Structure 1
Amino acid sequence: MSGSDRLSNAAQDAKGKVKEGFGKATDNEQLEAEGKFDQGKASAKDKVEDGKDAVAEKYNDATDRHQDDDKS
């Protein structure tokens, strides 16, 4: 995952926390819900990217082992 993706997700999470807090402070249930939704979207994006990173790491490990076998 690129650093810009992580930064974008962190910004979306922070925006959601602000919205949620402002919604609670002003008794605005819709704004509070939007904030929670924004946080959930950011978390989901992070999990998807973490999964991609894990698959890429496994692939790289597998191909490195395969290259080592060819050298023998």
Structure 2
Amino acid sequence: MTTPPSTTRARCSPTEPGAVQISVRTAADGSWQRMKSCGAPDCGWVFYDHSKPHHARWCSTAGCGNRMKTRAYRDRKG
């Protein structure tokens, strides 16, 4: 598991060694619902949602979130 720059969210690639152990641990301790895959189509990371309402969408707001918001803005503006 790695911590991306400029964020405190831990994220893990599904193919990274340890991903299975993380999955088993979160299933055992009941925190599985907070494990999410990043909403960016070009990202394959899985992350633990630390947000209070449990509605995080991206593994990193500074990276994937910024790209997706910029893409949506440009699509709206044409």
Calculate the TM-score normalised by the size of structure 1.
Answer: 0.28
Which entry has the higher C-alpha Rg, 1 or 2?
1
Would you tell me which structure has more helix in proportion to its own residues? 1
Calculate the TM-score normalised by the size of structure 2.
Answer: 0.27
Would you tell me which structure has more strand in proportion to its own residues? 2
